[in-house]
Structure 1
């Protein structure tokens, strides 16, 4: 169970950092998230927000697993 949670945490952390720091490289992922989770037009601020959410989730899961 801990291995599964750590893998999910690492994926969420990497995906969140990608959305946050490199939005041009993961623009399709950001647009997909905005299409699924929002009705507004895709803007940079939304990608950064979702990136922060994924980073926070990844850090929280990894913290729970290792501490």
Structure 2
């Protein structure tokens, strides 16, 4: 689901590897990251706190999935 959002909104529908470095590569801009957070909050009924905005939570699709899983547990 996160991969589909990133693929559709950020990389023009191209598939993206779950371990691709989203932030380091510049794939996700700061604006994209804010939009992603809004999507995550709405879709998964979570609240992303200021302390959650660390690279390890948003570095890749796999990291985002782990983050969301932890927030919903």
TM-score, scaled relative to structure 2: 0.33
Larger radius of gyration between Structure 1 and Structure 2: 1
Q: Which has the higher helix share?
A: 1
Higher RCO (C-alpha under 8 Å, 6+ residues apart): 1
